[in-house]
Amino acid sequence: MTHKVAIVIPTWNHRELLMACLASIQAQTFRDYQVIVVDDGSTDDTCQWLAQNAPDVLVVKMSANRGFASAVNAGIQTASSPLIFLLNNDMVLAPNCVEHLVSAARRCDDSAAMFAPYVLFREKPDTVFCAGDAMLQNGRPVSIGYGVLRKEFRLTSEAFGVSAGAALYRADLFEEIGLFDEVFGAYFEDADLSFRARLAGFRAVIVPDALSYHVGSASLEGRHVWRAQQCCRNHCLLVVKNMPKALLFRHGGAILREHRHQIGRVFTVARSSKGFLYALKKVAETLGKTLAALPHACRERVRIQRRRKVDTQLLARMLLPVNVAERMGERVTVTPSEGPRDA
């Protein structure tokens, strides 16, 4: 039997978070779904608990911890539903969240292929965690609304992209543009997919009635240096793969300043952890990993840009100036993507 929605949950340890996530799915008013949990090499008793307590859940076991992108790709490839809801294990859904997302997908034409719920902090439900993603001119993705009080936040109907921590996708999108780039591993891999989707002519829609609640950085487990390294490397890969040549020249200064900031972030976080020499080592390590991944990014760039359908001027209007994000925090407004496209 093919279900309308496949709910794909990548998980690595933190069984208690997964339990709360699955309980919120069980409470959904929309029932035509299949749950696929991708265990990314957990070392706790997650798999045993699932076998004993969630027999209806399809479990995909990874042989080792391979990162978010690999885990969600395994879930997407296992699914056979026309709609795929990617959900982190540290998310809890309001009872009608999936129903609202599916209704939005039904109302919209096929160019709308990504749907974002309105995500709040679970411990502070009066505060926004994310309402879709914006993309800055310097190639840095930002979560729209992060940290803003809900009563002060002005929702928009569309965004540049969505966060894969909680997002509904049309399965056809992956057939058109491919899966998540596993070279990214984790961080910015969803921004890369959103960027590729926008270049291919697809849109991202915000669904304000679909509420989800997030536990902040629950799965980071103190790996802050690693996170800074991932963001630094992946920012470079994101820009190289996706930014059209004209916009690379136009925003080159801002892009270089952002990458310098990312390198500085690696140094600062590493130095606060284990000192100056350790920080230098981690910066050198990050630059080495970035250089090693650049040939892949360049090959992908050729393929992506060759298939691009969106006019450069239209894409330029989707990218936000850096000073807007700095002046307004994350209270960014995204212009809807109406406009001409290249054939």
Q: Using CA atoms, how far apart are residues 265 and 271, in angstroms rounded to an integer? A: 10
On whether the CB atoms of residues 90 and 213 are closer than 8 A, the answer is: no
| The two three-digit tokens of residue 237, written as one number | 């890969």
185-205 residue pLDDT tens:
999 999 999 999 999 999 999
251-288 residue pLDDT tens:
999 999 999 999 999 999 999 999 999 999 999 999 99
pLDDT at 141 over 60: yes
SS3 260: helix
Rounded to 10°, the helix 224-242/276-306 angle is 30
Q: Would you call 306 exposed, middle or buried from its count of C-beta atoms within 10 A (0-12, 13-18, 19+)? A: exposed
Give the Cβ contact number of residue 226 at 10 Å: 18
pLDDT band at 216; cut points 50, 70, 90: low
Domain boundaries defined on the chain: 5-214, 224-306
- Which residue pairs, CB below 8 angstroms and at least 24 apart, start in 216-225? 216/121, 216/123, 216/129, 218/14, 218/17, 218/90, 219/12, 219/13, 219/14, 219/17, 219/88, 219/89, 219/90, 224/269, 224/273, 225/266, 225/269, 225/270, 225/273, 225/282
pLDDT band at 6; cut points 50, 70, 90: very high
289-332 residue pLDDT tens:
999 999 999 999 999 999 999 999 999 999 999 887 654 444 44
CATH number for the domain whose boundaries are 5-214: 3.90.550.10
Give Cα 289 distance to the centre of its chain.
21
Q: Give the percent of the chain with pLDDT over 70.
A: 92
